[in-house]
Amino acid sequence: MIQSTEPKKVLVLDSQSDPYWLEILRGAVSALRGAIEVVSATDAQRMRWRDYDLIILDAGVFSDLLSIIAWILSQDPEARIVVFSPAPSWKQAREVMLAGATDYARKSLHTEHILSTLKKNWTRQTHEENYPIHG
Amino acid sequence: MKKTILFMDNEQDFLDVHSRLLEHAGYQVVRACSLKEAKDRLEERHVHLAILDIRMADEDDEQDISGLLLAQQEDYRPIPKIILTAYPSYEYVRDALGIAADGQPPAVNFLDKDEGPEALLQAVGRVFDQHVLLNWDLDIHWDPREYLSFLHLAGLLQSDLADEVLVYRADELEHLVRRLFGDYRQIRIGRVFWRDRWRFCLPVLAQSPQGATDARILVCGERGQLRRELEQMRELAPRTPEGTTLDNTIETMHFGAATYVLPDADIETVQTLRDLVGEGRERPLKKAFSHLLEEVLAAWHQRGQRVEEEGDLTSLYRGWVGLGSDDLSRTEVERRVKTLTQEVRPLSAVDIEYANGELAFHFPSLAPLICPDPVAFVYAPLKQYCRPVVCKISPGQLTADNVLIDTEQRTWLTDFAHAGQAPQWWDFVCLEAIVRFDLSQAPDLLAWQEFEERLVTPGGLADRLQAQDVVPDLRTSVVLMEQIRRQAGSEAGLDPVPYYVGLLVWAVGAMAHYDPAILYTQAEKMRGAHLLLAAAMLARRLGETLPTALPGGTLRLDEDGTVWIGDHCAGPLVGQELDLLCCLYEQAGRPVSRKTIFESIFGEKYLAGDADQEGRINSLIRRLRVKVEPASSRARYIRTVKKKGYCLVASGEGRNGR
């Protein structure tokens, strides 16, 4: 399979997050040679989710996390969504992952933790080619 | 088939109480209180869902995630799993529900034991609704002309299993079918078109709740093998909309299944190539072969070609007929061909001899037909056709049963397990071999001999085959073979030699599949006799065309008894044959007397003129020559030196003749 040489595009849906954490996130994405874009939840309606390799949500910002995940997946069923939580719990992890999030992690201030989570989810899941197979 | 759950927990009381709860709710529960027990049960039984505890080795060890590791194992990927633990953490949830390297999460849900039995029941119910997805209401009907059942089909795939395990495998096959035909009201399963060691293929008619009928070809087999087959198909198959089209795939713990659509085909009337030949009508056969050659196979061949730098043509062909380096040894092939010769001898008035590197057929009232050993040819690099060899994408192994034909003589392929790059003549060779060895009928070996003579005579693939003299039963076969050869000639060139080599290797490969331990019918033995005759005549034909085709180079004996002719391995030697070669090898280039040979090999005193001793020496020399001499007709390495004995000429060069 030919790997794309385009930089990975990461979307952070989070305008109210701690700027310090966003800076750490930017650094981590940049270390992976990716491009990051931060948009507010109000802009979510106009987003083309398919344009992004990874979508990051801050669990501390959204009260209706599950509906946001469901909405993104309704627009792009193959979207890879990683939820960062300032206070992670196994129940929330179960909820968001059963809702379709790809991963759930602590909103750590340590770059290496963030990097490790990003790396784990960096490659967009490959799906079978969408054509009928003949023989 | 009951909804079955594997429940693994190392707390026996918890396991028993919750298992009873699930049983009370209508589920069948297979209990396991250790990892090993769980693995054993999963290997043996068929379960729809597994409930797995995380800490299975040591309840107090925070590092113990053995249950989670089991859930992550690829072997158990097709089984939906619920992780149930007394120690929930978000890290465990990530590991359980996060997407693994294969794109699937190890588990489909995660529960804390403290959430109680009701939560467990609800989670189990959801898994059956959302992940197991079996069509429990599907009515399954079998063709009344066939004696088929899931148990029978499971036996086709895994005949060596104990009866009680086979029952579970039958459940697993039923699971596949109920999942594949999840949207239908009823299905009707037809006869098995073909089967091999690990797969079967049959047609299925499916009726939707609205009454619409769909037709599918179902191929089912061992999970890993089938997955590889589908990967090959996805990568290599031509994108022609009228060809066999993959519809759906599904896996269980041991099996995989794929359904195919044959676009526009009436599956109720689709038959195999063997069926069509059985009808004996030339015109539809010609039309079907035209479609197969010019439409179906041509599309595959156009998918790409590669020049194979490694390996010569014969070794490439050998790989395709199960005579590759990892398959049967040359010695075993020779043994089987020899046994076949003995088995077919009583079948006809023709006396067949396979000795001294020759295969001789003594037909009554005819001069003997003496041919070089076909097995030696199959293991000899074909000098003029060494490398490079042009290979094209091939669907793999065409047989009389895996090519399907409809009433309009359109053809479809159904077996893609061996799809890959093959010598460009390979598919044509397979088709001719099918017609020649599997579908043609002749009254006796003499008729086969006349038939074969016509097939090996042409000097070009476009040449006409003289059909008028062959017995009427074989005329249609000759016409079809002309058609195949014309297409082969137009795609791969008119030189018949690489084509004949392919046929020879195919025939020897087919002979090598005659297992001496198996009881064969007269008809099967007669096919063996035909293969033997055809292979011998092809070897003779190739020997005439390619006098230098046999391996050449210096003879070398390794310390482990392996003999090499140049870079060709002539095989290992043991016993007296090895002793004799060592004796000659040590004196290479110098004659070794019969006395020296006899006394050093047999350890007895040599008595000149003793008929028994002379016979033993002659026999041993003959046996050694069969093993190491590439051509039986002339000894290049172990030469007779008149009145002196024998001399090993390691270079194989110089004066020929015994």
Q: Which residue does chain B place closest to A123, by CA atoms?
A: B101
**B494 or A14, greater pLDDT:** B494
Tell me if B47 sits within 8 A of B4, measured CB to CB: yes
User: Closest Cα of chain B to A92: distance in Å?
Assistant: 8
Tell me if B265 sits within 8 A of B412, measured CB to CB: yes
Q: How many whole angstroms separate alpha carbon B627 and alpha carbon B620?
A: 11
**A52 or B549, greater pLDDT:** A52
Same domain? For B179 and B95 the reply is: no
Tell me if B571 sits within 8 A of B562, measured CB to CB: yes
Assess whether pLDDT exceeds 70 at residue B265. Answer: yes
CB contacts of A134 in chain B (<8 Å) are 237-246
What is the predicted pLDDT for the residue at B502? 96
Flag if B246 and A132 touch (Cβ within 8 Å). yes
CB contacts of B92 in chain A (<8 Å) are 90
Strand pairing category for B638-641 and B645-648: antiparallel
Cα–Cα nearest to B428, from B374, B377, B501, B379: B501
Average pLDDT over residues B154-180: 93
Q: How many whole angstroms separate alpha carbon B533 and alpha carbon B531?
A: 5
Q: How many whole angstroms separate alpha carbon A126 and alpha carbon B102?
A: 10
CATH number, domain at B478? 3.90.1200
pLDDT digits (tens, 9 = 90+) for B505-564: 999 999 999 988 889 998 899 999 999 999 999 999 988 776 544 566 788 888 888 888
Alpha-carbon separation of residue A98 from B98, B106, B373 (angstroms): 9, 13, 67
Same domain? For B506 and B575 the reply is: no
Q: Of A6-20, B94-108, B496-510, B610-624, where does mean pLDDT reach its minimum?
A: A6-20
Tell me if B607 sits within 8 A of B616, measured CB to CB: no
Q: Which residue, B83, B103, B132, sits at the end of a domain? A: B132
CB contacts of B98 in chain A (<8 Å) are 97, 102-104
Assess whether pLDDT exceeds 80 at residue A45. Answer: no
Asked if the structure places residue B531 within a domain, the reply is: yes
CB contacts of A106 in chain B (<8 Å) are 90
* B233/A contact by beta carbon, under 8 A: yes
* B106/A contact by beta carbon, under 8 A: no
Flag if A134 and B234 touch (Cβ within 8 Å). no
The percent of residues in chain A predicted with pLDDT above 90, rounded, is 34
What is the predicted pLDDT for the residue at A129? 36
Same domain? For B311 and B453 the reply is: yes
Q: Which residue, B511, B544, B577, sits at the end of a domain? A: B544
- The count of structural domains within chain B is 4
**Mean pLDDT across chain A, nearest whole number?**
83
**B401 or B565, greater pLDDT:** B401
Same domain? For B108 and B152 the reply is: no
CB atoms inside a 10 Å sphere around CB B616: 17
pLDDT band at A14 (very low <50, low <70, confident <90, very high): confident
Q: How many whole angstroms separate alpha carbon B291 and alpha carbon B297?
A: 9
Q: How many whole angstroms separate alpha carbon B489 and alpha carbon B484?
A: 9
ipTM of model: 0.87
Same domain? For B219 and B313 the reply is: no
Sheet holding B555-557, edge to edge: B555-557, B562-565, B568-572
Flag if B109 and A103 touch (Cβ within 8 Å). no
What is the predicted pLDDT for the residue at B386? 60
What is the predicted pLDDT for the residue at B632? 53
Same domain? For B388 and B465 the reply is: yes
CB atoms inside a 10 Å sphere around CB B498: 24
Assess whether pLDDT exceeds 70 at residue A1. Answer: no
* B80/A contact by beta carbon, under 8 A: no
CATH number, domain at B110? 3.40.50.2300
CATH number, domain at B190? 3.30.200.20
Flag if B112 and A126 touch (Cβ within 8 Å). no
pLDDT band at B658 (very low <50, low <70, confident <90, very high): very low
**A133 or A2, greater pLDDT:** A133
Same domain? For B127 and B75 the reply is: yes
Assess whether pLDDT exceeds 70 at residue A125. Answer: no
Query: Would you say the C-alpha torsion B174, B175, B176, B177 has a positive or negative sign?
Result: positive
pLDDT band at A49 (very low <50, low <70, confident <90, very high): confident
pLDDT digits (tens, 9 = 90+) for B443-476: 888 889 989 999 998 989 988 887 777 788 888 9
Tell me if B337 sits within 8 A of B376, measured CB to CB: no
Q: Which residue does chain A place closest to B292, by CA atoms?
A: A135
Which run of H or E residues covers position B17?
Answer: helix B12-24
Assess whether pLDDT exceeds 60 at residue B657. Answer: no
Compare CB distances from B243 to A89, A128, A134 and report the shortest one's residue.
A134
What is the predicted pLDDT for the residue at B385? 64
pLDDT digits (tens, 9 = 90+) for B74-88: 999 999 999 999 999
Same domain? For B160 and B85 the reply is: no
The percent of residues in chain B predicted with pLDDT above 90, rounded, is 60
Q: Which domain holds residue B33?
A: 4-132
**Type of residue found at B414:** T
Asked if the structure places residue B288 within a domain, the reply is: yes
Q: How many whole angstroms separate alpha carbon B631 and alpha carbon B540?
A: 11
Same domain? For B213 and B77 the reply is: no
Average pLDDT over residues B429-451: 91
Cα–Cα nearest to B202, from B169, B134, B156, B235: B156
Same domain? For B322 and B433 the reply is: yes
What is the predicted pLDDT for the residue at B548? 46
Q: Which residue, B544, B568, B591, sits at the end of a domain? A: B544
Asked if the structure places residue B102 within a domain, the reply is: yes
Domain at A9-120, CATH from 3.40.50.2000, 3.40.50.300, 1.10.3470.10, 3.40.50.2300:
3.40.50.2300
Flag if A134 and B98 touch (Cβ within 8 Å). no
What is the predicted pLDDT for the residue at B561? 83
CB atoms inside a 10 Å sphere around CB A37: 13
pLDDT digits (tens, 9 = 90+) for B169-214: 999 999 999 999 999 999 999 999 999 989 999 999 999 999 999 9
User: Closest Cα of chain A to B181: distance in Å?
Assistant: 18
pLDDT band at A4 (very low <50, low <70, confident <90, very high): low
Length of chain A: 135
pLDDT digits (tens, 9 = 90+) for B21-74: 999 999 999 999 999 999 999 999 999 999 999 999 887 888 889 999 999 999
User: What DSSP character marks residue A49?
Assistant: G
Average pLDDT over residues B262-275: 92
CATH number, domain at B614? 1.10.10.10
pLDDT digits (tens, 9 = 90+) for A59-71: 888 888 999 999 9
* B237/A contact by beta carbon, under 8 A: yes
Q: How many whole angstroms separate alpha carbon A102 and alpha carbon B176?
A: 28
Assess whether pLDDT exceeds 80 at residue B610. Answer: yes
Same domain? For B120 and B170 the reply is: no
Asked if the structure places residue B655 within a domain, the reply is: no
Average pLDDT over residues B293-297: 96
Residue of A1, A69, A92, A94 best to disrupt the B interface, most CBs of B under 10 A: A94
Residue B196, both tokens: 């091999």
- Cis status, amide bond into B388, omega within 30 of 0: yes
Average pLDDT over residues B10-20: 95
Q: Which residues have a Cβ under 8 Å from the Cβ of A5 and sit 6 or more positions away?
A: none
Query: Three-state DSSP class for B293?
Result: helix
| Residue ranges covered by each domain of chain A | 9-120
CB contacts of B93 in chain A (<8 Å) are 90, 93-94, 97, 104
Could you tell me which residues are beta bridge partners of residue B48? none
Asked if the structure places residue B538 within a domain, the reply is: yes
Tell me if B494 sits within 8 A of B486, measured CB to CB: no
Same domain? For B374 and B418 the reply is: yes
Sheet holding B591-592, edge to edge: B591-592, B645-648, B638-641
Asked if the structure places residue B520 within a domain, the reply is: yes
